[in-house]
Structure 1
Amino acid sequence: MHIADGVLATPVLMAGIAMTLVGTAVGLRKLDDDKIPFAAVLSACFFVASLIHIPLGPSSVHLIFNGLIGLLLGWLAFPVMLIALILQALFFGFGGIVVLGVNCLNIALPAVIVGAMLRPLRHFMPAQLLGFLAGSSAVLLTGLMVSLSLYLSGDAFLTTAKVVFWGNLPLSVLEGVISSFIIVLLNKVKPEMFKGIQSNV
């Protein structure tokens, strides 16, 4: 899901920076002291999971767990993912510094949207389904946003944008399955996080 520096048009970069700053500010305002350790663990999970890249044109696909993070943390997904993306860009050269705002927006905004849509339903669906929907739908939204970022940067990226979107479809299924297992596990070992979620396992 990382887009490299030097690919996107300036208006796309500026819009990404502005929206990421707003999202991060909102997330930090919601950050309580008791959430810091959990947020740090999820940031580390995102950092490690997204180290394994499959190149896809000027972008790449990898596990991101943004649906899981959005479901658990909401707007905190912005600062959580921004920190991980900064470290990846500095230490491993993934993505880039200039495109950091767009990369964060493309991953964190779907997390917030999916979390907001699914969190009210946690009392009415099995944990497995909740986890799968969170993981798969967030990856699909991220793929759509990455493709849109490329498309808005010029017609030359139209083909690449299509490849990136379709390349994320199998990844969304894998992410959904893994997220499902994680939600079920958390529901068993830390049920206070998911009061009202019923698991069939």
Structure 2
Amino acid sequence: MHLSEGILHLPTLLTTNLIALGAVGLGLRRLQHEKLPLSALLAATFFVASTIHVPIGVGSVHLILNGIAGLFLGWVVFPAFLIALLLQVIFFSFGGFAVLGANLCSMGFSALLAHYLLRHLISAQASRTKLIIAGILAAIIGIVGALFITASILFLDGGKQYLDVIYLLFISHLPVMVVDSFISCSVMLLLQKMQPDMLNLVSQKHHV
């Protein structure tokens, strides 16, 4: 759900870009060598999933998969998503450089929420049922969280003039949740079968 260029006012742009910059810095500090391949893979997946999109008012509808990425990466999701969003701006003009911070906040903090709420469910020894539940919840938390953050940014910036667009964004993303949930569950089960050690990386504790 990329916010478009020219929508937000300067104070909102500065605030969101500063917050995003701090989050990227923290993510880079937490980037571990063993997570580099996974980070690159999830950044590429996010890039491809959100490339095909349908414009809706000041935003857009597309596959997101930020919840599953956040579940595995934690704070590292911010530098990973930054690269993906930058490439989308450069190659496809999605969003824009000025709203990069706003879009990164929407995608990143909702993904981070999925990480902290669900990471205790993930391990190589977890049951299929638990992994499926985690996959579904990751998709829902990632998308709903991104919607609420995007809606909050729009409302704080423009007040009630964006209410109709916010409502439309929520309704239009209901089918996206279904598809994201299916993909997230498939990723969980595939990793348990082929790369179970990656599931154990999720539950590793990190110091702030």
- State the secondary structure of the residue aligned to 1:152: helix
Q: CA deviation at 1:122?
A: 2.6
Aligned: 1:184 with 2:189: yes
In structure 1, the residue matched to 2:154 is 150
- State the secondary structure of the residue aligned to 1:126: helix
In structure 2, the residue matched to 1:6 is 6
Segments of structure 2 that go 5 or more residues without pairing to the other structure are 203-208
Q: CA deviation at 1:159?
A: 1.2
The letter for the 2-side match of 1:128 is I
Kept after mapping to 2: 8 A contact 1:135/1:180:
no
The letter for the 1-side match of 2:197 is E
Q: CA deviation at 1:121?
A: 2.7
Please tell me the root mean square deviation across aligned C-alpha atoms, in Å: 1.7
- State the secondary structure of the residue aligned to 2:197: helix
Percent identity of the aligned residues? 39
Within a 5 Å distance, the mapping from 1:10-89 to structure 2 comes to 10-89=10-89
Aligned: 1:111 with 2:111: yes
The letter for the 2-side match of 1:139 is I
Residues 69-104 of structure 1, C-alpha deviations (whole Å, 9 max, x = no match): 111110011000001101110111000000000001
Aligned: 1:169 with 2:174: yes
Structure 2 CA distance for aligned equivalents of residues 140 and 116 of structure 1: 15
Segments of structure 1 that go 5 or more residues without pairing to the other structure are none
- The runs of at least 4 consecutive aligned structure 1 residues that moved more than 2 Å come to 121-125
Structure 2 CA distance for aligned equivalents of residues 67 and 174 of structure 1: 13
The letter for the 1-side match of 2:57 is G
- State the secondary structure of the residue aligned to 1:2: coil
Q: CA deviation at 1:63?
A: 1.0
Q: CA deviation at 1:189?
A: 0.6
The letter for the 1-side match of 2:55 is P
In structure 2, the residue matched to 1:141 is 145
Between the two proteins, the alignment pairs up a number of residues equal to 197
Aligned: 1:130 with 2:134: yes
Q: CA deviation at 1:126?
A: 1.5
The letter for the 2-side match of 1:92 is F
